[in-house]
Amino acid sequence: MPIKAVIFDYIGTLVNCRGYSMADSEDNLHSALVAEGFPLEKTSFLQAYELAHQKYRKVRYQQFREVTNSVWVSEALCNLGFKVSADDARVKAALNVFFQDFIDTLELRAGVKKLLAQTQPRCRLGLISNFTHAPVIYKSLRKLDLCKHFNAIVVSEEVGWRKPSPQIFKAALTRLQVRAEEVVYVGDSPIEDVKGAKEAGLTTIFVPSQFNKLKDLVQSKQEPNFVSKNLAQVSRSLEKLFV
């Protein structure tokens, strides 16, 4: 069966995250909400935020249902006595501030541009990202000049499902107008990427990253179709599949 599409994971697989501090971002979120008109005491807010975050983390990692940040931020605010919904423009504006530091720390992995440029003429390209606030993905893709390479971009917040759920892979296949057996998936997570894509019927290539090493793949007992030590090797693995 000829390969008609290659789908990539994003963070970890195509980009690194250097020097990011979640604590700094949470401080920025508090300051941004105060600037948006919520008179919040910092410690109380961060405690309420963490409680809501952990509540929805269970949903996200046990049921693979994606929940956007605005849901748990608004719930934290409601628990502190404010009347606010998840679609409140003030919450979304504060989240844009919260995520800016993260966007600023993203950088291309070595070989990304070459890999995409070599692969794009031969098939359709897709991207699947587990991310709770889709604007972050699109903004960072524009910043890194990657949007032009992809025929379809699927973010978990938009489809409501997270990898390794087969639903998010099916969404990408539908947008790319291909069947699972015609697709190669490249990712760095043994569970979200390798296990998820294999169970959805895709051929898989594992590439280690700053988040997942080869030892993590071994410990997971997942078996991708190919293992590449870097993106240059991913290109060589794809060459074998295109033959």
Mean pLDDT for the stretch of residues 165-192? 98
CATH number where 187 lies: 3.40.50.1000
Select from 176, 211, 150 the least CA-distant residue to 11.
211
Answer whether residue 58 shows pLDDT above 80.
yes
Answer whether residue 242 shows pLDDT above 90.
no
Domain co-membership, 124 together with 68: no
Model pLDDT for residues 133-174, shown as the tens digit of each residue: 999 999 999 999 999 999 999 999 999 999 999 999 999 999
Domain co-membership, 9 together with 118: yes
Domain co-membership, 57 together with 70: yes
pLDDT confidence tier of residue 38, bands split at 50, 70 and 90: very high
Domain co-membership, 64 together with 115: no
- Domain boundary (104, 135, 162) is at 104
Answer whether residue 1 shows pLDDT above 90.
no
Structurally, the chain folds into a number of domains equal to 2
Domain co-membership, 46 together with 163: no
Domain co-membership, 84 together with 113: no
Domain co-membership, 26 together with 111: no
Structural domain that includes position 86: 22-104
Mean pLDDT for the stretch of residues 184-201? 98
